[in-house]
Each structure stands twice: as C-alpha cells, then as structure tokens.
C-alpha cells in the first residue's frame, strides 16, 4: 500500500518520487514512478478521464526531469497509465477512479513480485561449479544469484567495476554478504575474463521493441565479446522496462536516455551512461512474462499495450 499523505493540491511529485528512492535503496526508479502515480490517483480528485491522463503525463514528465535514469520511468509510467484506463466507457468518474485504484494496486503488486519470478526462472541456468560474468550492479541479477546461493549452489561471479560510478563495488559487497565467491574486475578486462566463464548475466534499464536492451555503458562490449567467444548472454529484466523504442544503433538512442539532465545542453564532451546492445548479441531474456528470445519481445509489447 502507498504511504498516506495529507490532502494537498500542491503535491510535490518529484519530492515524493525521490523520497521513495531514498527510503528504499533497493527500489528501482520504475517502481518508484508507479508508486508515485498511484499516490496521485489515490489522493487527488479528477473531473474527467482526460484531466486524469494529462495529470499523469505531467507527473511522468516531472520525474523524467530528475537526474536519474529515465528509461524505466518512461516505460513504467506508460504501462501503468495504459493498464488502469483500459475499457472505462459509460461509467461515472468516481466509479472509474475506484476501478483504476484497484487495477493500479494489482499492477503494482504484480511488479513487486517480478524479481522473485525472474530469479526462480534463472535457477536451472545457475549450476554448481559455474562461473558467471555480470556487469556492474543489477538488483534482479543479484536476486537470482542470492536465490541460487540459498539453494546451496557453489559458483563464482566476476563483476565489472561499472564506471563511471563503480557500482560494481557495491555488487561485490552484496555478494560477499550472501556468502558468494566473487571477483571484482576492470571493465576493460571483459575480454580477458570471458574465455574462463560459462555465461554472461546482466540486467537492463530498458528492453526495446527489437529485443535489444539499453543498459549501463559497456554492456554492448560485453555482448560482442560473448558472441565472439560463443558464450551465452542472458538478460534479466522486469516487464515494466519494455519500452516502445526501436533504435538501430547507438546514435538512435535519445540523448535524454544516454546523458544526465545537467549535461544535455552540450553532450559533445560528456561520456554516455548507457549503450544499446542489439538483439543479435542476446541469447535469452528472463522476464516475469516468461523466458523469451529477443524476437518474442515485440509480440509481448503488443500484448502489453493492446
């Protein structure tokens, strides 16, 4: 259930959104965005569906203007609005609002369980004695690895530092707390380590229509190395990260996805934070909708937005 707020017309969307993330470091920006939208729906009054939709769009736009990665905010916000407003013809506004609140809570509950679902799907791929390479820190990858360790599986994980913020160091600390053997490596050591691992397992900030992914810079390089050395490249991603983008190359990614907000005025000398890994380099995607091939993603996106 969302937290309770006093009824105020000047509800600060960004402040509430950032507070959710600050209070729970394990919360993804997409889930925080959906919780924020649900709070708006619960606490504000709307005269028409059109006003409600405009309010939701304005809230998503406000959250996009933060300095966080916007990929999951955009896709999660779109899916939430689509799900709650589906087939509401010939109903009074208050009845519509109750229906939307009910749907929104169901939608959120399903997504909150998505990491557990994905972690279970990955278990038969994480076997005793295997060696795994992962990039930086991914909450869903961490969940899958910890679940395997709790099943008394012994394996070793190589984690890249994950520049520029070196969040791979946090991933190493999380794995060590779970009693998992792990090694921190340089991002540039991906090719060197690749020949000694059994497979690559990464998260994603967004899954695009082609079945490719947007993820932390260096993911594409890892995919290239994995294909060259014939190693499986697995992606673990929740369905709210499925987004209606169809990039063909790195230049096709919108700048607001690649750079922090403060650098958008001039990106000529700024390093991108994410890159695009085409579907040709991805073996399978583990999602709460099932284990998918990259070519199946477009079909699932159509179902989500129908």
Among 53-67, 87-101, 122-136, 187-201, the minimum mean pLDDT is found in: 87-101
User: Could you give the percent of the chain with pLDDT greater than 90?
Assistant: 60
Q: What is the pLDDT of residues 262-283, one digit of tens each?
A: 778 888 888 899 999 999 999 9
Average pLDDT, the chain: 89
The helix (H) or strand (E) run that includes residue 132 is strand 131-134
CA triple 80-105-91, angle to 5 deg: 75
Residue 284 has pLDDT above 60, yes or no: yes
Residue 5 has pLDDT above 70, yes or no: no
The third-level CATH classification (topology) of the domain covering 118-305 is Rossmann fold (3.40.50)
CATH 3.40.50.10470 occupies which residues in the chain? 118-305
125-157 burial by CB neighbour count: b if 16+ within 10 A, else e? bbeeebebbbbbbbbbbbbbbbbbbeeebebbb
The residue length of the chain stands at 306
CATH 1.20.120.1070 occupies which residues in the chain? 13-113
Residue 9 has pLDDT above 70, yes or no: no
Spell out the CATH class of 13-113.
mainly alpha
Nearest in space to 16 (alpha carbons), one of 80, 47, 59, 61: 59
Residue 252 has pLDDT above 90, yes or no: yes
Nearest in space to 119 (alpha carbons), one of 4, 268, 234, 243: 234
CA triple 193-196-198, angle to 5 deg: 110
Cα–Cα distance, 55 to 52 (Å, whole number): 5
- Average pLDDT, stretch 202-225? 96
pLDDT band at residue 138 using 50, 70 and 90 as cut-offs: very high
């Amino acid at each position: 259930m969302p937290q309770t707020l006093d009824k105020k017309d000047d509800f600060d969307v960004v402040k509430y959104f950032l507070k959710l993330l600050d209070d729970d470091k394990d919360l993804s920006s997409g889930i925080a965005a959906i919780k924020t939208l649900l709070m708006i729906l619960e606490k504000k009054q709307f005269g028409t569906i059109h006003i409600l939709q405009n309010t939701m769009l304005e809230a998503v736009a406000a959250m996009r203007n933060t300095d966080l990665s916007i990929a999951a905010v955009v896709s999660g916000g779109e899916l939430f609005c689509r799900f709650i407003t589906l087939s509401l013809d010939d109903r009074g506004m208050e009845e519509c609002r109750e229906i939307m609140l009910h749907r929104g809570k169901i939608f959120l509950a399903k997504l909150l369980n998505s990491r557990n679902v994905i972690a279970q799907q990955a278990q038969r791929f994480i076997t005793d004695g295997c060696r795994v390479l992962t990039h930086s820190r991914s909450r869903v990858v961490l969940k899958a690895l910890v679940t395997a360790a709790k099943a008394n599986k012994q394996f070793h994980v190589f984690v890249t530092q994950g520049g520029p913020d070196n969040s791979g160091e946090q991933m190493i600390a999380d794995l060590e707390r779970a009693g998992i053997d792990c090694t921190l490596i340089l991002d540039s050591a991906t090719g060197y380590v690749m020949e000694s691992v059994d497979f690559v397992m990464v998260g994603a900030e967004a899954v695009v229509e082609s079945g490719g992914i947007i993820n932390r810079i260096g993911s594409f390089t890892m995919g290239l190395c994995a294909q060259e050395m014939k190693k499986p490249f697995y992606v673990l991603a929740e369905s709210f990260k499925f987004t209606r983008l169809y990039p063909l190359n790195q230049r096709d990614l919108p700048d607001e996805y690649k750079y922090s907000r403060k650098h958008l005025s001039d990106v000529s000398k700024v390093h991108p934070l994410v890159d695009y890994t085409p579907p040709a380099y991805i073996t399978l995607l583990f999602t709460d909708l099932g284990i998918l091939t990259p070519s199946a993603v477009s079909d699932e996106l159509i179902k989500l937005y129908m």
